[in-house]
């Protein structure tokens, strides 16, 4: 098989076949090129740790290759090994690899080490080489926003671009939405020609601002861009916002045919079923069979769970360095930080994997296999697919959301404000309140009162959010689980 054929398999989502082909290719001629492709396939399969030695073998065959050094730097950054990622990115740049992508990898590595001024400068170098480079613009604007909580300096990141530039409008829309101004976000999206991404974003914002206009945009997008999954989901949102739950079901079903694991599409479908009184809703929102709360196991090295949580809270406190929440996330009134278990230097952070392994396995065993969209993915084993920490301060909350690429999602409580002990549900986790505009009241169906050391586990398609609280700090770790 040729490398082009392997990449075609990846494009179709057939990672198993691509992995088998790239494994065979490594044993044949042109071994160095196949090693690079094999590492790419391993990463697509979510096997980043296995990709690292493969990339290092490819580099050994051509140590001066800036492309191979860049790829290793990007991988190390994704693994949370930011100092090593910085070294490899600088090596790639010194070898002549002056691509904006490499400057972006360097900026992320510097930001991961809390060297924010240097990160800002590296983002600037990426943008100088490609002025409309969307990832660099988004991340630089987000860095400014999270450091300051101020909208004006974050918006200034894109002011070198024309007001009608699509990239500028996407970044500005995200910033306005993060600042709680959906009207300005909607206006920013529509300040020029609409491509597919801007149309989808406009529809989502428009359902809260002008549902009729949102529906018109969604229908135009379907005609212009065809039945792409984001367009289909935007159309369903717009129909729900105008009260047409029956008409929303067909585009969601088509989107799920394209990607049955899309948890956001599944959340929309179950919302439609709830609105229409469809009995299938209850099966997928079986809170007794699919949701559980479990106490963390005390990991080796600590005498008690409280002692472990004290050390973990102190370590997480050193990780959180921002004043404002990130863009395009559910956090409001706090900060969010990504955490890599495998490579973090603090022993309490690394031990978190041991603390959650038993509770996750007991939860997976409880849910069991079956034929519904959740249980049919059951393999009996799991792997983590992202882990992050959230630090909410007084007035903080989570807007209702789902985790689109997960299977099982979580909330683990490390430190809590006194307010969560009350009966008014301050800081509590809620399930079932849909953020999608539907014209009907869909209140929460279940509440979980946080307790220190408690781990809540639930299907990733379930809408969930957090009530605001009046004072103190609410420190959590969250992660997604997918079948292994």
Going from the C-alpha of 33 to that of each of 28, 30, 68, 297, 405, the distances in angstroms are: 10, 6, 10, 45, 30
Which pLDDT does position 71 carry in this prediction?
95
Distance CA 298, CA 314 (A): 17
Band the pLDDT of 481: cuts 50, 70, 90: very high
Evaluate if residue 337 carries a pLDDT over 70: yes
Which pLDDT does position 31 carry in this prediction?
83
Please write the tens of the pLDDT for every residue from 15-62.
Answer: 999 999 999 998 887 788 899 999 999 999 888 889 999 999 999 988
Band the pLDDT of 459: cuts 50, 70, 90: very high
Evaluate if residue 411 carries a pLDDT over 80: yes
Which pLDDT does position 327 carry in this prediction?
87
Name the average pLDDT for the chain: 94
Helix pair angle (82-94, 100-112), 10° resolution: 150
415 touches 473 (CB < 8 A): yes
Band the pLDDT of 1: cuts 50, 70, 90: confident
Q: How far is CA 462 from the centre of its chain?
A: 15
Burial of 72 (0-12, 13-18, 19+ CB in 10 A): buried
Please write the tens of the pLDDT for every residue from 112-148.
Answer: 898 999 999 999 999 999 999 999 999 999 999 999 9
Which residue reads 């935007």 in tokens?
234
Q: What is the CA radius of gyration of the chain?
A: 23
219-228, 256-265, 328-337, range with the lowest pLDDT: 328-337
Distance CA 131, CA 129 (A): 6
Evaluate if residue 189 carries a pLDDT over 90: yes
Please write the tens of the pLDDT for every residue from 301-319.
Answer: 999 999 999 999 999 999 8
Distance CA 255, CA 266 (A): 9
Band the pLDDT of 342: cuts 50, 70, 90: low
Q: Can you list the domains of the chain with their CATH numbers?
A: 287-483 (2.60.120.620)
Instruction: Over range 265-280, report the average pLDDT.
Output: 97
Evaluate if residue 484 carries a pLDDT over 80: yes
Distance CA 48, CA 37 (A): 13
Which pLDDT does position 340 carry in this prediction?
72
Band the pLDDT of 322: cuts 50, 70, 90: confident
357 touches 283 (CB < 8 A): no
Tokens of 205: 């914002």
Instruction: Over range 416-442, report the average pLDDT.
Output: 95
141 touches 175 (CB < 8 A): yes
pLDDT above 70: percentage of residues in the chain:
99
Q: How far is CA 460 from the centre of its chain?
A: 12
Which pLDDT does position 61 carry in this prediction?
86
Predicted TM-score (pTM) of the model is 0.88
Band the pLDDT of 325: cuts 50, 70, 90: confident
SS3 (DSSP) at 311: helix
76-80, 249-253, 287-291, range with the lowest pLDDT: 76-80
SS3 (DSSP) at 286: coil
pLDDT above 90: percentage of residues in the chain:
86
Which pLDDT does position 346 carry in this prediction?
92
Listed in sequence order, the DSSP H helices in 113-228 are: 116-129, 134-148, 151-155, 166-178, 182-189, 196-209, 211-225
Band the pLDDT of 341: cuts 50, 70, 90: low
Strand partners, 392: 334, 474
317 or 13, which is more confident?
Answer: 317
């Amino acid at each position: 098989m040729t490398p082009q054929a392997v990449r075609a398999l990846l494009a179709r989502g057939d990672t198993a076949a691509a992995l088998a082909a790239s494994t065979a290719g490594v044993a044949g001629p042109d071994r160095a090129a196949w090693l690079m492709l094999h590492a790419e396939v391993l990463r697509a399969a979510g096997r980043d740790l296995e990709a690292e030695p493969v990339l290092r073998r490819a580099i050994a065959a051509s140590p001066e290759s800036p492309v191979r050094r860049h790829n290793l730097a990007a991988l190390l950054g994704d693994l949370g090994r930011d100092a090593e990622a910085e070294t490899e990115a600088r090596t790639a740049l010194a070898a002549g690899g002056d691509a904006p992508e490499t400057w972006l990898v360097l900026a992320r590595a510097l930001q991961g080490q809390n060297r924010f001024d240097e990160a800002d400068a590296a983002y600037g170098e990426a943008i100088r080489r490609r002025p409309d480079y969307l990832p660099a613009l988004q991340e630089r604007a987000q860095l400014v926003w999270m450091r300051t909580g101020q909208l004006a300096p974050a918006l200034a990141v894109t002011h070198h671009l024309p007001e009608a530039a699509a990239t500028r409008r996407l970044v500005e829309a995200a910033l306005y939405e993060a600042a709680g101004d959906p009207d300005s976000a909607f206006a920013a999206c529509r300040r020029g020609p609409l491509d597919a991404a801007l149309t989808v974003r406009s529809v989502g914002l428009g359902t809260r601002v002008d549902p009729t206009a949102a529906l018109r945009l969604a229908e135009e997008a379907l005609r212009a861009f065809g039945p792409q999954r984001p367009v289909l989901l935007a159309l369903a949102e717009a129909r729900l916002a105008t009260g047409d739950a029956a008409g929303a079901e067909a585009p969601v079903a088509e989107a799920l045919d394209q990607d049955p694991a899309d948890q956001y599409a599944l959340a929309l479908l179950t919302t439609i079923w709830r609105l229409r009184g469809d009995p299938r809703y209850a099966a997928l929102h079986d809170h007794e069979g699919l949701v559980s709360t479990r106490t963390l196991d005390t990991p080796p090295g600590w005498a008690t769970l409280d002692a472990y949580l004290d050390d973990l809270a102190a370590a997480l406190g050193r990780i959180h360095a921002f004043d404002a929440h990130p863009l395009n996330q559910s956090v409001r009134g706090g900060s969010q930080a990504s955490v890599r278990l495998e490579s973090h230097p603090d022993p309490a952070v690394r031990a978190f994997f041991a603390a959650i392994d038993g509770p996750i396995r007991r939860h997976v065993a409880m849910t069991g296999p079956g034929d519904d969209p959740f249980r049919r993915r059951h393999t009996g084993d799991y792997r983590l697919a992202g882990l992050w920490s959230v630090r909410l301060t007084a007035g903080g909350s989570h807007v209702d959301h789902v985790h689109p690429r997960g299977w099982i999602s979580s909330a683990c409580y490390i430190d809590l404000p006194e307010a969560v002990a009350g009966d008014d549900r301050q800081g509590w986790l809620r399930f079932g309140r849909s953020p999608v505009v539907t014209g009907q009241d869909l209140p929460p169906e279940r509440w979980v009162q946080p307790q220190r050391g408690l781990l809540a586990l639930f299907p990733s398609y379930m809408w969930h959010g957090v009530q605001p609280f009046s004072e103190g700090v609410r420190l959590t770790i969250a992660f997604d689980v997918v079948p292994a």
